[in-house]
Structure 1
Amino acid sequence: MRIYITALLLVAACGALSCSKGGNNGPSGGSGTGPGTTDTTTKVVWPSPAGDVVGKVTVGYQGWFACVGDGSPINLWWHWSTDWGKSPSPATSGIKSWPDVNDYTNIFPTAFANLGNGKPASLFSSYSEQSVDVQFSWMQQYSIDVAALQRFNPSGIEGPVRDSMAAKVRRAAEKYNRKFYIMYDVSGWTNMQSEIKADWTNKMKTYTGSSAYAKQNNKPVVCIWGFGFNDENHTWTSSVCIDVINWFKSQGCYVIGGVPTHWRDQTSDSRFGYLDVYKAFNMLSPWMVGRIGKVSESDNFLVQVNQPDLAFCKANGIDYQPCILPGDLQEHQRAHGDFMWRQFYNMTKLGCQGLYISMYDEYNEGNQIAKTAATAADVPAGAGFVTLDEDGTACSSDYYLRLTRDGGKMFKQLLTLTATRPTAPIE
């Protein structure tokens, strides 16, 4: 699980700032320059031309849930339970949101009480081929372009499952004509500098031969999430980080950085002295989970953070892929889609190069867009899970997938730029 400094960040970035709205630069770019055009002031070709990530909507794909009896090498309640050896229950639950599992044929009963509708409280396993197939079929159905497959330290107990997930994702992406790329989350990875290179060389590089592997500027895409974060899980020196980035570039890769929110100022969640690390990436995707939770904060970030971020990226020839958050459902942030739509609107108006949805299947933190329990009838009785109708507005279980579809259309100029959400909560 990623470690966040939420309270500190919200105070530093939001609390003391005004919530005025940003200027209207149009969806084609903050300066009015289109993909691949030359900025005659800086003599830098910016942004990169449209490809598999530039001009596209990417979702962060955890793929990290397992169940006892699912046939996986781990054979534990991986990420569903706080005690992986015990069946999920109100006492051991590791999730904040309950998934809608109606489309899965391979599900596993838990120790939760039955759902409000009387059905057993069962969960899916990401290890199941059918689960991956279903989730990628949703990506196709709802026009999601790319899945960034999270890959944590593969040397530990989870390694064999991670390896299997890469193969399953490749097959599903090829089947449903979606793109995917490897996104290394280096949090807590002690021997990262040498092991990430070995992992790419010996295991992950082979996936770039797939027709579904994302390419940008004719180069395979790799993302590294975690360089520069100011905590004990990300302690590498700037020289180590730059070495790893440059090594991936030497392998012919287009390298995305999942970086701290305040990377440019190098304050709060960012270590100081890492600006050269951030400038070494081909694309920057600053983390946003826990930083904003309502529409006004999105407007504030547009002015105070996103606009200067994009200006810096333009001046340095770096593509910009900000996060879009559906909101923490359990914390009542979603406002039946208005919170997420405002971010689509703001980031499209800003003219960023790509969008990164945080996340696709992150039921642990409650910020998933994949199908989610819509009403009290769809969650275990008495377990306290918040459902999509929490503010009195009925929403279908696929609502945030549909919202992502429409936000992506607006970003690609297939829908008119509009601050008014066009997506109905119930279709």
Structure 2
Amino acid sequence: MKSTRALAALALVLCSASCTDSLDAPLAERVSAPVESSTTIGKHLAGYQGWFGCPGDGSDLDSWIHWSPAVGPAPTTVMFDAWPEVSGLPDDALCPTDFVLPNGQPAPLFSSYRPSTADRHFQWMADHGLHGVLLQRFSNSLHLWRHRAFKDGVLENVRAAAEAHGRVFAVVYDISGTDPEQWVSRVINDWTRLVDEMGVTESDRYLYQDDLPLVGIWGMGFTDRPGTPAEAHELLDFFKNSPEQRYRATVMGGVPTYWRTLDGDAKTDPAWTSVYARLDLLSPWTVGRYRTPVEADWHRTQLMEPDLSWTNVRGIEYLPVIFPGFSWANLTGDPQTFNLIPRQGGRFYWRQLYNAVDMGASTVMTAMFDEVDEATSIMPVAASAAGVPTTGHFLHHGEDGESLNSDWYLRLAGAASQVVEGTRPNTPQIPIQPTPPDDPAVPETPEEPDDSEEDDDPTVPDDPDDSTEPTDSQEPNEGAALAAYHVSLAYQGILGRAADPSGLASYTARLEDGQSVLWLCQVLHSSGEFLAQRAHLSSAAMARELYVGILGREPDPGGLSATQNAIDDGRLPQRAAAMIESDEAASHFQP
């Protein structure tokens, strides 16, 4: 192992007590100590695409890449769904577009080829405590010199940024779309070049495991990716037994969801099992495989826990993948896939993190840092409609009725890093508090101080709804009675029990102070009690619970279907709030 790596580890130990800053929100959990790079254990890593380009960015491609075809970004040509918040990027990272924000300001994008982009991204990672990245390197275009030069430039940017900000990085080859006759040779030839000519593994920030540099191969065993078991063994032989020691590596395999059972998205040849057994780290793909926290729980018990048992027996490190949400309407041209998997204010993402660590995973990967194409990114994106262009259709944090700052998912990722490394308890609920949106068109107003000592659930933003405030025709005691009635219905419908006296008093006061019924439903839905006692229920069973608990009757067929669909789409709180505030529920209210 290189001496610089040992020195980095020593620096981490010496700096652990003195190099951690405690700054004001929203960056309350900043970590400035360099990340120890000799092991993957205790790491939370994000996939990093680094594939965005634009004319004039200095690359030989000199063209729009991934934002849109070469013609340039327009409402009918864009290929990404989440609009990035770029106000925190340096000016030289930005690419002008014809889009305009609601406040009349231009809406630029950015190029991954410009060094300042990666530098700022890694500064954000350091600020929030994310340990590092797995840099995706697509092998399908490595034989095209302009594309290879672009990838090399991004790799150099990532290396420099990781070294500047004390993060770690490793290369992951994605074999999607690669010539089936050349995928093995392309990976081998490129890796030898990265080692010999670019010296990437000599960086003290390159991630190692078992005294060897980590390299990933994503796509082996998928039904729609190239490769046979024999070819996969050939590639593994190179990394594990190369006569030249400098080319050897610890191998992480990005494998199909159903790799162990050899069905679904996995090739069925039993010989693939021997390939999976040779991997040092095994990482099944999960993006899009479930859509709600309940489905994530099912995925854990039915797939992830048996997977982990299989890998533990064989001494293989299991690397689960978690993701914040999913949308790809602009990429596919199918408007029905817009916000296909809602983020639920981070509750969907956090449930996956909780499951992964709770079942014993020692390393976790988030997909992705910068993947706005399919809206799985954790880097800052627009906080609300005020931060997206006036034309086109783009996802923002407020799409699901949440009130969140643009860097909310970076903050969640930082808290997740602390959970993975063991410096923060692993809890079913999100342990940090959101902050208000920061869109450029929204004027900032000082918040009233909150003197309450109530320890309410921090996973739900304080988003008052004026419709819940008493009208002039309401007497104060009637408003309090109505708020208490709403609290009681929410408890009965969502938790299946009567509200306890302290909860009834506390939440009644919050509703009287302007909090919305939706806010209350979100709090109860994300509570540990719901996750422990009710999350296992089927959507049909939970729909019936809402009807009986809130409206006091069995559901009619149409209402059952609509409520079940809402639950399946991750919108239980919204459905429950609508029922609580319905005319039918109001007809039973007696002040």
TM bucket by the smaller chain? 0.7 to 0.9
- Return the alpha-carbon distance in structure 2 between the equivalents of residues 53 and 306 of structure 1: 19
Structure having greater relative contact order (Cα 8 Å, sep ≥ 6) = 1
Displacement of 1:51: 4.7
Question: Does residue 80 of structure 2 align to residue 89 of structure 1?
Answer: no
Q: Which portions of structure 1, spanning 4 or more consecutive aligned residues, are displaced by more than 2 angstroms?
A: 49-52, 329-332
Conserved 8 A contact 2:183-2:226: no
Aligned match of 1:277 in 264, 271, 275? 275
CA shift, 1:252, in A, is 2.6
1:182 corresponds to which of 163, 171, 176:
171
Select 1:425's aligned residue among 412, 418, 434: 434
Once residues 52 and 361 of structure 1 are traced to their aligned partners in structure 2, the CA distance between those partners, rounded to angstroms, is 24
User: Greater Rg, structure 1 or structure 2?
Assistant: 2
The 3-state SS of whatever aligns with 1:202 is helix
Residue of structure 1 equivalent to 2:52? 65
In structure 1, give the amino acid aligned to 2:257.
Answer: T
1:282-320 per-residue CA deviation (whole Å, 9 max, x = no partner) reads: 000111111112101110011001100000001111100
| Separation in structure 2 between the aligned mates of residue 264 and residue 226 of structure 1, nearest angstrom | 15
Distance 2:416 2:423 in 1: 10
Q: Secondary structure at the match of 1:301?
A: helix
- Secondary structure at 1:239's aligned position in 2? helix
Residue in structure 2 matched with residue 296 of structure 1 by the alignment: 294
- CA shift, 1:142, in A, is 1.2
1:273-422 → structure 2 map (5 Å cutoff): 273=269, 274-328=272-326, 330-422=339-431
Q: Any idea what the Cα deviations from partners look like across 1:318-362, whole Å, max 9, x if unmatched?
A: 100000111115325200010001011111100112101000000
Which residue is 2:564 aligned to? Answer: none
Q: Percent identity, aligned pairs only?
A: 37
The amino acid across from 1:74 in the alignment is L
The one-letter amino acid paired with 1:271 is: K
- The corresponding residue for 1:261 is 257
In 2, the alpha carbon distance for the partners of 1:399 and 1:51 equals: 29
Residue 62 of structure 2 is aligned to residue 75 of structure 1? yes
Answer whether contact 1:108 1:122 (CA < 8 A) is retained. yes
What is the distance in 2 between the residues matched to 1:61 and 1:170? 12
SS in 2 for 1:184: strand
Structure 2 distance, partners of 1:101, 1:50, is 29
Within 5 A, what are the aligned runs for 1:156-195?
156=144, 157-190=146-179, 191-195=182-186
Structure 2: gaps spanning 5 or more residues: 1-35, 242-246, 328-338, 437-591
| One of 222, 230, 238 as aligned partner of 2:215 | 222
Secondary structure of the structure 1 residue equivalent to 2:215: strand
SS in 2 for 1:336: helix
Structure 1 distance, partners of 2:38, 2:418, is 16
- Structure 2 Cα separation of the partners of residues 239 and 162 of structure 1: 28
CA contact (8 A) 1:60 1:150 kept: yes
Secondary structure of 1:266's partner?
A: coil
Does the 8 Å contact 2:207/2:213 carry over to 1? Answer: yes
For residue 140 of structure 1, what is the amino acid of its counterpart?
A: A
Deviation at 1:423, TM superposition (A): 2.1
Q: State the partner residue of 1:101.
A: 86
Q: CA deviation at 1:50?
A: 9.8
1:302/1:51 Cα in 2 relative to 1: closer, same or farther (>3 Å)? farther
Within 1, Cα distance between the matches of 2:60 and 2:39? 32
Q: Distance in 2 between matches of 1:300 and 1:325?
A: 16
Find the counterpart in structure 2 of residue 35 from structure 1.
none
1:186–1:192 contact (8 Å) kept in structure 2: yes
In 1: Cα distance, 2:191 partner to 2:369 partner: 24
Contact 1:324 1:356 in 2 (8 A): yes
Cα distance, 1:151 vs structure 2: 0.6
Matched, 1:142 2:133: no
Structure ranking higher in strand proportion: 1
- The amino acid that maps onto 1:98 is W
Q: Which residue of 2 aligns with 1:252?
A: 248
- Uncovered stretches (5+) of structure 1, i.e. residues with no partner: 1-48
Matched position secondary structure for 1:230:
coil
- Taking the aligned partners of 1:52 and 1:356, their CA distance within structure 2 comes to 14
Q: 1:127 aligns with which of 110, 113, 117?
A: 113
Distance in 2 between the 1:255 and 1:219 partners? Answer: 9
Q: Given the two structures, how large is their TM-score scaled by the length of structure 1?
A: 0.85
Q: Which amino acid aligns with 1:379?
A: V
Query: What is the distance in 1 between the residues matched to 2:37 and 2:276?
Result: 22
- Rounded Cα–Cα distance in structure 2 between residues aligned with 1:100 and 1:52: 33
Structure 1 contact 142–401 (Cα < 8 Å) conserved: yes
Return the offset for 1:125: 0.5
User: Partner of 2:397: helix, strand, or coil?
Assistant: coil
